[in-house]
């Protein structure tokens, strides 16, 4: 099942945003990272959304 949305202290590449989203929705973090990288090829505010996630998603204790 799903857990709360929190950036983990381990299994993170930059800030743990993709890892947090993957854990929350039961998807492997590497899949979320690949989806994010593919989305970077499309026009849009992907970097801003990632930065907002970094600021708004709490860190795991």
Query: Which token pair is 11?
Result: 């299994």
Cα–Cα distances (Å) from 50 to 1, 15, 56, in that order, read 24, 9, 10
Beta bridge partners, 7, equal 59
Residue 49 near residue 35 (C-beta atoms within 8 A): no
- pLDDT given for residue 3 in this prediction: 72
* pLDDT over 80 (residue 56): yes
pLDDT in tens, 46-55: 999 999 999 9
Question: What is the tens place of the pLDDT at every residue in 10-52?
Answer: 888 899 999 999 999 999 999 999 999 999 999 999 999 999 9
Other CB atoms closer than 10 Å to residue 23's CB: what's the count? 22
């Amino acid at each position: 099942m799903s857990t709360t949305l929190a950036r983990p202290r381990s299994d993170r590449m930059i800030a743990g945003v993709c890892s947090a989203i993957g854990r929350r929705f039961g998807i492997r973090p590497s899949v979320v990272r690949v989806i994010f990288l593919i989305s970077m090829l499309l026009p849009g505010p992907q970097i801003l959304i990632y930065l907002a996630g970094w600021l708004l998603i709490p860190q795991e204790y």
